[in-house]
Amino acid sequence: MSALEDRGITGSATFVPTDTVQVKNMQLARADVYVLLLTAPNSISEGGTYSISAPEREALKEMAESIYAKYGEELSAPLKRPAVRAKTPW
């Protein structure tokens, strides 16, 4: 499924910018695409190439988090920063 279909958006639907449900679903689908890009390999070369730098990945993550927060959703668990504590062996 695509990010749009996962959010109930079909290619045959007419987008109404005053419909708050449609706007919400479109925004959340956009955040889902950002997450998809974050989880993709660093570079892909099928018919073209692209790569996303660490700062660009961080910006995409922040934009996705902002959209999800606006609508009361959370970023998927694997993308959250793990809490790492260093423990000395001594």
CB atoms within 10 A of CB 47: 5
pLDDT at position 72 is 92
- For the chain, give the number of residues: 90
pLDDT given at position 68: 94
Which residue bears the tokens 């990945």?
A: 57
Contact 4, 29 (CB under 8 A): yes
pTM (whole model) above 0.85: no
- The Cα 29–Cα 64 span in angstroms is 10
Supply the pLDDT for residue 12.
84
Q: Report which residue type is found at 89.
A: P
Q: Give the pLDDT score at 84.
A: 46
The mean pLDDT values, 10 residues at a time, for the chain of 90 residues are 81 86 92 88 71 89 94 72 53
